[in-house]
Chains A and B, each alone.
Chain A
Amino acid sequence: SQQGEEDPQALSIQEGENATMNCSYKTSINNLQWYRQNSGRGLVHLILIRSNEREKHSGRLRVTLDTSKKSSSLLITASRAADTASYFCATNTGTASKLTFGTGTRLQVTL
């Protein structure tokens, strides 16, 4: 079963524009993580935000977390063609290392 749902399912933007993806989840979390997956490849960890954090930055990435709404957003600024990939949120829940992925957003960045 999937814990999170990303929105939108697909997003197409031009290079230089910002891309925003949203993730909603159902249960309380320890932390929330975002991953990128290029076509035919494994997932790569991008950023982790703890449940007591509200915003986090890493390079061109900005993640926000609203635990009251059980939602998170990933903003990629000044997008590049190389950012074309699927992006997944993953929630860490419970007392152990359970990591559950959402359905993903497919981002297409065109020149």
Chain B
Amino acid sequence: EAGVVQSPRYKIIEKKQPVAFWCNPISGHNTLYWYRQNLGQGPELLIRYENEEAVDDSQLPKDRFSAERLKGVDSTLKIQPAELGDSAVYLCASSLDNWTGGVRSAFFGQGTRLTVV
């Protein structure tokens, strides 16, 4: 079974430029997460989807960040325009959330390391 696939793995852009990240979750997983991880820190949730609906985007800086999950499968996260402080690793994860004990374990992609110069 293929895992969560993210692309690109690395991205270097100049500030004020746009950037987009793509995520293909594990087939059948209804929940998709985008996290941002700064160096030496834990992942911080940006947005969470249940199927195609964004159910938690309270941490998403909506002035410059946007995300979509078309047909409840693949997802893209966009930053426009990028700032120096956006340099981080952006992680996508998916899980199957139909279990009475709460969310099951999440499966993570390798992440996209963004450097804004």
Number of interface residues of A (CB under 8 A): 29
Interface string of A27-41 (1 = CB under 8 A from B): 001110101000011
Interface centre among B31, B45, B48 (most CB of A within 10 A): B45
- Cβ A30 vs Cβ B102 within 8 A: yes
Is B86 in contact with chain A by the CB < 8 A criterion?
Answer: no
Q: How far is B50's CA from A100's CA once the two chains are assembled, in angstroms?
A: 16
Q: A26 interface residue, CB < 8 Å from B?
A: no
Range, interface on chain B: 20 to 34
> Is A88 interfacial (CB-CB < 8 Å)?
yes
Tell me whether A99 is interfacial, beta carbon within 8 Å.
yes
Once the chains bind, are B42 and A92 in contact (CB under 8 Å)? Answer: no
A96 to B35, CA, bound (A): 17
User: Contact check: which of B40, B45, B56, B103 meets A92 at CB < 8 Å?
Assistant: B103
Cβ of A54 within 8 Å of any chain B Cβ, yes or no, is: no
**Does residue A78 face the partner (Cβ distance < 8 Å to B)?**
no
Cα–Cα distance between A19 and B42 once the two chains are bound (Å): 20
Per-residue contact bits, chain B 33-53, to A (CB 8 Å; 1 contact, 0 not): 101000011111100101000
Q: Give the segment of B14-22, B61-69, B70-78, B108-116 that binds chain A.
A: B108-116
A67, CB-defined interface residue at 8 Å: no
Known: A1-B44, A103-B42. A50 touches B101 (CB 8 A): yes
Interface residues of A (CB under 8 A from B): 1-2, 4, 29-31, 33, 35, 40-45, 48, 50-51, 88, 90, 92, 96-104
